Structures are given as structure tokens and as C-alpha cells.
Structure 1
Amino acid sequence: MMKIRTTKTALTAVVAVAVLTVSACGGGGGGAQQSGQGIAENITIAAVNDQTGPVAYAGVGASKGAELAIEQINDQGFLGDGVTMSLEQVDTAGEIDRAVSEMTKTMGNGEVSAVLGPTMAQQAAAVAPLVGQRKVPTVFTQSGAEGVVVNDYTFRATAPMESYYDIAAKWLSENGHKDVSVIYNATYPTFANLGKTVFPKEAAAAGVKIGQSLEVQSTTQDFTGQAQQIAQANPPAVVMMLIASQAVTFMKQLRQAGYQGQIVGTSVQGSGNAASAGAAADGLVYPVDFSAAMDGDTSKEFTKAFTDKFGESPDTYAAEGFDAIWWIARGIKASNDSSRDGVQKGLAQVAGEGFTGAMGDLTFDGNDMRVTGAMVEWRGGEESLVN
């Protein structure tokens, strides 16, 4: 079971950083165990991510996947007879200041050997430099923007969307959608980079021409104007790079404007986030790093184990949390050292070798995960693989 820690209102980021700076003067590293002492009988991993707030779905999913991984690791005696791994859960509630404060307190807890970090990119980027200062190995999930994997103690168990979004451009080309309109959230770092730079290059390489390219902000909630503009142009396909709630509204308004063509989204529309759009989302396709529809052996095994435990199909966030914890466990076993320094060395070693997890065959660019990815279609409330 996860240990839930209730926290008070977070300090401001300025105060949190000040506290961290003072404490960091005493040196980092250590943890419950000093380097070179082998594997401790009790290993604590902290999950510092959103359990409430606008992106709670990502943090909750990651923590569920982490819980399942820890259960398997303990049941298998993976780290040795009598060795028990446990998870301490901390909520960042969608706030950057709170994420900094909670990470500060967590890294100050000597019993914590490693951290499963914030899922929101802005939170992750704010705490990443502090992770390096305190030398606490931290594995982030989601957090696909730059400024997250920035030192030897920061790792990411989510392939950046840009690293596998090329399969969307190829799918469009192979299915005859050679002219597209693009709409993207220019405030959200991942989508800004994808919409402005990455996808235009991938589209050109695949022989796909971009006509309209429309920018919106994170505060945009009404897409009537953009929907009408796209519907009038009537391209064979529309590529949308919007956060979950925006995508639902946009798809509804786009269909209401009379557009009947193909809509292509992002992995954000996965995990059931497209369901609220109802019939407007039928036929939506998007690339993902994981789907419960994936048919690889390790993916199917994970899906069954997760469904048996939680009574629901796993989402991409759960798969990422699951693989993140197994990465940590493999790292501890590789280094034979559960101290913070041992975990860091082990994570780097495993990254150099790669492994197969819930998301399939996993490789790494330094400390950053890479996946093959898969294209899925959303129809009738379910995902299915598409060629």
C-alpha cells in the first residue's frame, strides 16, 4: 500500500529555494544508506506529483503504475530475500511553488533513496536543478519539455513526444492526407516546439503540406473562430496539439462547423481523455508511447496485471510510472547499492543497456527514454491499433 502524507499549504518558490540552498551547503548524497553498503532491507521511493488539480490524471496514473511495480518487485524478491520497497506519496496539486516546496522537503528526508518526480513540465523544470544540487536521483514521467533532464541525477521515463511524433506524419502520408491544417497551444512548451518546429519538418519529410497553422493559448476555451476557419479551408486532415480539455471543445466545435475530415491528435488524447468529446472524437487517431491495445508480450502482461489489481485498463501514465519504478529497481540491482549514489549509478547503467517494459523495448538517449510508439484510433470509447 502507498503511504499518503498530508501536507500544509506550500511555501512560495522563493522561500523553498532559499531553504534548499541553505541545507544544500551541508552537502548532498547519502540517503538512508551510505554508498557502498549494498542493498538495504527497506527502500523508500517518494512520488512527488499531482494527485489533485488540472493534470491529476497524469500523477494518479503514474502512481498507480508505480504501486503495481513495487508490489511485483517485492513479491518476486527481485532485490533479494527480505528486501522491501515502499512508496511515499506527496501531492503537488498542479502548483509550481508547491512542487518546489515538496521536493525540497522530500529530498531532505534521508530515508528516501529516489524520487518519482512531477509530471507537469513547468514543475519538473523548476525542481530539476535542485535535484542536481542535492544529488537525489529523480525519475520524471511526462514532463516532456526541455530543461528537465539537465544533470546526472535527473532521468525521464517518458519519451519526449517529439521523438516519436514522426509516426503521425508518416501515417498521414501513407493514408493519403497530404494537405493538413495545424492548431497548437503555443503556451504549452511541448506543443509550442512540436507545432512550430518539429512537426513542420516531419511533415515536409513525409510529403505532407501544411496550409493553415493556428496558434492558441492555454487560456483559450472557445475555438469557434478557428473551427470555422479550418472548416472553410476543408483540408483532408487537421492536426491538433492541445491539452485535454481544449481538444474536447475544439473537436466538438470543429464538427459543428461542418468539418468531416480526419483529425489527428497527440498522446494527450489517450487514456480516455477524448471520451468527453463523444461522437465528435470517433475516428480520431494519435501516436502514443503506450496503449492497452498494444500486443507485445510485456505490454499485454502489464495490462492484465494492472486490470486485475485496479479493475480498469491502464493508461499511458500508469505504464510510464510502472516502467520508471522497474528502471529504479533494475538500477539498484545493477549497482548492488540502494543509496542515492548507488541508484544514480545504476539508473545510468541500465539506461546504457536498455530494457523491455510495459511500453515495449526501451532505449535511452543519455538519461532520457525513447520508445518506438504506436498509432491508435479512438472509436466507440475504445482505442485500437492502426497500421
Structure 2
Amino acid sequence: MRGGVIEGGSCHHSPTAVLTGWLCEVIISLLIASKAIITTRRPRRRLNRYAASVGNLPRLRNPATSGGANPRGEFMERLSNKLTGAAAALALSLGGAAFAAPTPGEYNIGIISDDTGPIASAGISYHNGAELAVEEINAGGYAGDGVTLNLLVKDSGTDAARAVQAMTQFAADRSVMATTCCIITPIAGAVSQVAMREKLPLVIYGATREGLPQEPFVTSVVALPGPQEVMMAKELANVLDPKRVVYYVTGDNDIFLDRAYAMKEVLEEYGAETVAEISTLANDTDFTGPATQGMGADPDLILVMATQQPSVGIISALRERGFEGNIATSEVLSPPAIYQKSGNIVAGIPFALSFQPGLSSSEEATAFIEAYQEKFGSLPDVYAAQGYTAIQYMAQGMAALDGDPTREALAESMWQINEIERNLVSAGDPPDPRAIAGFVAERLASYKCPQEYEFVSELPRNALGKVLKSELQSLFTFSGKA
């Protein structure tokens, strides 16, 4: 390959409390009218009650036609009293405003980790990302002046019973303000029940089954399937023009089921036939049967949308049995440890992702990548980015509180967040060609590495959306420089 052309990009936007301009103007007007000085604290739920009270204000009467000595003065006095009360109610309803300040001190965050077990590679990355976030939060005072966070870790080994036990222990420890857990959907479901019952905030970072987030105690920093899956499916359809597709999914993880179905919908729109859907489980280790079944369907494209261990196992089983066709998967292949362990078996297989060194090049992402490499001696992956994001999410919720934090107040504060302030992925930042070149060089033989990169907003296509390869070649002339 002489050069590479990369189209577009994807961005995962996670939840941050944003105060809109018109709301600021309303508060300022109320404060001027009432001459009140107000400390904000609680979330925005009284806005509708405030709107109703304004609607019931008495109408201004014409002094020339109404009785009484000074109806305008009486009205203004009543209006001032109502505005004072309304301003207080409105300001109390706004979480995370400028006057909020949590009581200084150390607060514990519980992590139910997957440092061992079938998805340990992803779990360790998540744990590392969370640990780095805590260091940065404490150094920068991002959770509040004088507020520090401390991680308490309990390894579940991706076992549901151990995860529930760990969550129960965290709930009993009143020093634990919030927790995070779970790639596997059934484990997330079991742990979230404890979180709701014990009123302990839980941030889920992998499982995304509809209904898992529950107001206000169970939230998630992941919203999948994302645009990256749809974009990859379109590129696969345009470049490979597949006619027969086999899908491998992890049946006990809704996140990968949803991702597979999102890609399936796109590919079927482009005319690809689904010839088989093969379900495995997260803890499966023998993929001889599924590999044989998939190859028997005679596909020209196989999509592996499974958790890390099954994905590597399925791909290995397919290659060992002589399948030389096209395979695509997810970011579960992104950790460098996968390539060090599996070698040429997974080399050259494309995958979609929402964060990757070289592709995520915002200022926040660049700083995160450098800090992660310095601390852990390796590049971060998407799971490390999720761990970092989850703890930043908690810190942002904590910083919006006033006075002594409680679990209930923190849960309410986090539930109101719409965008995380320290986001690692920015849609507007172009990728860094040097970082991409370094990333590719670690995974491909030198003669396979692109020598130049060209970034474009879109590729030339015909009316059916197919890439016009002849026009594409005419647009770019590569110099052959490294």
C-alpha cells in the first residue's frame, strides 16, 4: 500500500451540567428584582413549579381606572415578594452552579474490577484509566477545593456472585460515595439491583441493555452502538460489497448484540444477505463448533461482535480451520497485549472504535495518552479511556454539591449531567498522521505500512453510495516519501 485515505471520524459524547444562557438571564433578572443573595444546591426539578407561579402573578391594573390609593405600589410589593421566593426556588433547583462547594475531605470510590478472569485485559485497562483520573482530579482539585478521591478495588473476576458481594460490601461501607462496574450485562443487572436498593451511585462502563440506567442511582458512561459501527459497516459495504454475511455475537452481552444489529441493518440496506447469526457466551473457551458452523454458511464477510476472549477465540478458530475471507470486529482487539499474544492471527482485521491513540487527538486525549504511557508504560485503549471518563464523571458530580456530600445528593447531581467536561474524544480535531504511523508500525510489516496519509471530509461515490475507486485514485498522487 502506497498511501492511506481516512474519511470522517467518530466521537462518543458522554454526559455535563450545562447552564443555558436564557436561564442565566432569568436568574439575574430575579436576583435584581428581589435583591436576594442565594446559594444554589439542588437539581433543576422545580422549574415547572416556578413557571406556574409566574403565570399566576396578578395582572397590573391601570391606576386611572382602578380603586385604591396605590394599586401599582401594592402590586410591586407583592411582585417583589413572589420574585424573592421564586428566585430562591429556582436557584435551589440548579445543581452545579458557581456557588456550590462540597465540604473538603477524602471520599472513597469503589471499583468492582475485572483484573482477573476472561476479560482481564479490558478490566485492567479500565482500572488503570480510573487510577490515572483520580491522580489528576486530586492534583487539580476538580472534585472541589480540598476534596480528594480514593479508589477502593474489589476484583470480581467477571463472576456475578463475587460482583454482587463486592457491591454489598461497598454499600455497607458508608465512606464509599459511588461505585463503577461491569462489562457483562447479567453482572451489571445484578449489581444495579443492589445499587438501587442501597441507594449507592453506580456508573456502568460496558453493559448497555435498555433499562439498566435507573434514575438517579444507576448511570452509564457508554452509549452504544455509536457512529463508529455504522461508519465501519458502510465502508465494508462500499469496499468489499459483501453478499453473504455471518455474525458472531456474545449472547449474554447486550452491548455487542446492539452493535451487531446496527451493522447488520446497514449491510442489509446495501444488499448483503445475513446467512447466519451465531451466539456464544462471554465465558466460552471452545469455538471449534461455532467456527465450523460459520464457515459452513459460505460467507464472504464475517463480523465478530463479541467480548474480548470470544472474539480472539473465534478469529483464531476460523483462521486455524483455513478461513481466508474477510473478518471485521470491534475495539476489543485494540489493546497492544492482544497483538503481542495472538500475533499474525489478528493482524490486518479492521475494527471500529471511539478512542485510540493517533485517532483521538484532542488536547485532552493527547494529555491522557502521554500521562498513561508515562505511568503504565503502554498506550491506553478504549477501556482505559472509559475508566478515566467514569471517574471524571463522578468528580464533576461531586464538585456540583454544596456542603457535606451524601450518596443521594451525588446521584442526583450526576443524573443531571449531560456532557462530561474532560472528554477524551473531540469530533473537530484532525488525527495526527505521525501518531497513526507509529500505531500502524507496531502492528504491520514495514512493506504493508502506508507511507503517506490524506484526510478528506468525504469520498467520491456514485448515486448508490458506492466508492468510485477510479476517481479516488485520480484525486491523490502519493510521493512515496516515508
TM-score, length basis structure 2:
0.62
Rounded to whole Å, the distance in 2 between the matches of 1:180 and 1:200 is: 11
Tell me, yes or no, if the aligned pair for 1:181 and 1:230 is still in contact at 8 Å. no
SS of residue in 1 equivalent to 2:336: coil
Q: Paired residue for 2:401, among 324, 332, 335?
A: 335
Could you give the per-residue CA deviations for residues 128-157 of structure 1, whole angstroms, max 9, x where no partner exists?
122122221111111233442133211111
Tell me, yes or no, if the aligned pair for 2:118 and 2:309 is still in contact at 8 Å. no
Within 5 Å, which residues of 2 pair with 1:119-130? Answer: 119-130=183-194
Tell me, yes or no, if the aligned pair for 1:282 and 1:380 is still in contact at 8 Å. no
Could you give the per-residue CA deviations for residues 249-282 of structure 1, whole angstroms, max 9, x where no partner exists?
3323433444333211022222236423321222
Rounded to whole Å, the distance in 2 between the matches of 1:189 and 1:120 is: 6
- 1:323 matched to 2:389? The reply is yes
Residue 69 of structure 1 corresponds to 133
Could you give the per-residue CA deviations for residues 296-335 of structure 1, whole angstroms, max 9, x where no partner exists?
2222221111111111111211110101111111112223
Rounded to whole Å, the distance in 2 between the matches of 1:224 and 1:187 is: 17
Rounded to whole Å, the distance in 2 between the matches of 1:254 and 1:380 is: 25
Within 5 Å, which residues of 2 pair with 1:281-292? Answer: 281-292=346-357
Q: CA deviation at 1:289?
A: 2.3
Number of equivalences: 337
- 1:346 matched to 2:409? The reply is no
- 1:301 matched to 2:367? The reply is yes
- 1:215 matched to 2:291? The reply is no
Unaligned runs of 5+ in 2: 1-99, 428-435, 456-482
Rounded to whole Å, the distance in 1 between the matches of 2:208 and 2:299 is: 29
Distance verdict in 2 for CA 1:192–1:43, change over 3 Å: closer
Residue 473 of structure 2 corresponds to none
Tell me, yes or no, if the aligned pair for 2:245 and 2:302 is still in contact at 8 Å. yes
Within 5 Å, which residues of 2 pair with 1:38-77? Answer: 38-77=102-141
Tell me, yes or no, if the aligned pair for 2:246 and 2:299 is still in contact at 8 Å. no
SS of residue in 1 equivalent to 2:209: coil
Q: Paired residue for 2:344, among 253, 273, 279?
A: 279
Q: Paired residue for 1:261, among 322, 325, 337?
A: 325
Opposite residue 88 of structure 1, the aligned amino acid is: L
Tell me, yes or no, if the aligned pair for 2:102 and 2:400 is still in contact at 8 Å. no
Could you give the per-residue CA deviations for residues 140-197 of structure 1, whole angstroms, max 9, x where no partner exists?
1112334421332111112324665222211212323332422313533326733774
SS of residue in 2 equivalent to 1:255: helix
Rounded to whole Å, the distance in 1 between the matches of 2:141 and 2:259 is: 46
Larger strand proportion of the pair = 1
Bigger mean CA offset, 183-192 vs 171-180: 183-192
Opposite residue 416 of structure 2, the aligned amino acid is: Q
- 1:314 matched to 2:380? The reply is yes
Rounded to whole Å, the distance in 2 between the matches of 1:232 and 1:380 is: 35
Rounded to whole Å, the distance in 2 between the matches of 1:239 and 1:314 is: 25
Opposite residue 212 of structure 1, the aligned amino acid is: V
Rounded to whole Å, the distance in 2 between the matches of 1:192 and 1:304 is: 30
- 1:177 matched to 2:241? The reply is yes
Rounded to whole Å, the distance in 2 between the matches of 1:45 and 1:191 is: 25
Rounded to whole Å, the distance in 2 between the matches of 1:104 and 1:224 is: 38
Bigger mean CA offset, 244-253 vs 187-196: 187-196
Within 5 Å, which residues of 2 pair with 1:73-84? Answer: 73-84=137-148
Within 5 Å, which residues of 2 pair with 1:6-17? Answer: none
Tell me, yes or no, if the aligned pair for 2:154 and 2:166 is still in contact at 8 Å. yes
Rounded to whole Å, the distance in 2 between the matches of 1:114 and 1:131 is: 9
SS of residue in 1 equivalent to 2:416: helix
Opposite residue 309 of structure 1, the aligned amino acid is: K
- 1:95 matched to 2:159? The reply is yes
Unaligned runs of 5+ in 1: 1-35, 362-375
Distance verdict in 2 for CA 1:38–1:77, change over 3 Å: closer
Q: CA deviation at 1:108?
A: 1.6
Between the two structures, name the one with larger relative contact order (CA 8 Å, sep ≥ 6). Answer: 2
SS of residue in 2 equivalent to 1:287: coil
Rounded to whole Å, the distance in 2 between the matches of 1:208 and 1:386 is: 30
SS of residue in 2 equivalent to 1:88: strand
Opposite residue 326 of structure 1, the aligned amino acid is: Q
Rounded to whole Å, the distance in 1 between the matches of 2:143 and 2:101 is: 14
Distance verdict in 2 for CA 1:191–1:259, change over 3 Å: farther
SS of residue in 1 equivalent to 2:351: strand
Opposite residue 316 of structure 1, the aligned amino acid is: V
Rounded to whole Å, the distance in 2 between the matches of 1:117 and 1:159 is: 15
Distance verdict in 2 for CA 1:78–1:177, change over 3 Å: same
Rounded to whole Å, the distance in 1 between the matches of 2:256 and 2:372 is: 33
SS of residue in 2 equivalent to 1:188: coil
Q: Which runs of 4+ in 1 moved over 6 A?
A: 376-380, 383-387
Distance verdict in 2 for CA 1:167–1:86, change over 3 Å: same
Query: What value does the CA root-mean-square deviation take over the aligned residues?
Result: 3.2
Q: CA deviation at 1:235?
A: 4.3
Rounded to whole Å, the distance in 2 between the matches of 1:71 and 1:186 is: 34
Residue 193 of structure 1 corresponds to 257
